[in-house]
């Protein structure tokens, strides 16, 4: 039986985001970078890393500058027709909220693989969904919520995931 590798669930989506960010950079629209996951090296052999562990909890996947403002966001990919809020860590929730309080543009970008749809979920909406969940509400962001409250990301002017249109 093949072992499921959870670390690469959204790899194709993140590759598309990386390509989009390269286009934004080349067009002079924004400078957005993928944040490396902090890793602590435990063992090496012959110049190669043989054992490592995650050093600290990660915050968000991407950060950068857009129209003179800081921008931070977390990329999530889901197989279903909703995004379970349990897929978002407390560190990510707090970082997105704190960054926005300091003037950053902060959001989730959610790709629904089964439907091949992508949405921008603003931090304000995310925080509302999280509060609702704490008060015995729904523990996920449904497709209907995304269709009603969020901006769907489309291909635009040669940009495959023109998510910046959703944050303007």
Please check whether residue 113 lies inside any domain of the structure.
yes
Please check whether residue 124 lies inside any domain of the structure.
yes
Please check whether residue 1 lies inside any domain of the structure.
no
Residues 116 and 26: their CA atoms lie apart, in Å, by 26
Residues 96 and 34: their CA atoms lie apart, in Å, by 15
Q: Are 105 and 167 in contact (CB under 8 A)?
A: yes
Give the range of the structural domain holding residue 115, as residue numbers without chain letter: 6-166
* pLDDT per residue as tens digits for the range 130-153: 999 988 888 999 999 999 999 999
Please check whether residue 91 lies inside any domain of the structure.
yes
pTM of the model: 0.83
CATH code for the domain of 111? 3.40.1350.10
Please check whether residue 110 lies inside any domain of the structure.
yes
Structural domain count of the chain: 1
* pLDDT per residue as tens digits for the range 99-113: 999 999 999 999 999
DSSP state letters, 9-52: TTHHHHHHHHHHHHHHHHTTSEEEEEPPPPEEEEEEETTEEEEE
């Amino acid at each position: 039986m093949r072992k499921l590798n959870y670390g690469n669930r959204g790899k194709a989506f993140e590759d598309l985001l990386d390509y989009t960010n390269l286009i934004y950079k080349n067009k002079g629209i924004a400078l957005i970078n993928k944040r490396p996951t902090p890793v602590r090296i435990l063992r090496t052999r012959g110049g190669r890393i043989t054992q490592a562990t995650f050093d600290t909890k990660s915050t968000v996947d991407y950060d950068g500058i857009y129209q003179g403002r800081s921008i931070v966001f977390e990329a999530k990919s889901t197989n279903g027709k909703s995004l379970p809020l349990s897929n978002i860590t407390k560190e990510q929730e707090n970082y997105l909220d704190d960054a926005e309080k300091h003037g950053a543009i902060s959001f989730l970008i959610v790709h629904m693989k089964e439907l091949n749809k992508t949405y921008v979920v603003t931090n304000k909406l995310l925080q509302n969904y999280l509060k609702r969940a704490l008060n015995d509400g729904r523990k996920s962001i449904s497709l209907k919520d995304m269709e009603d409250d969020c901006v769907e990301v489309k291909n635009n002017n040669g940009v495959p995931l023109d998510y910046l249109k959703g944050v303007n």
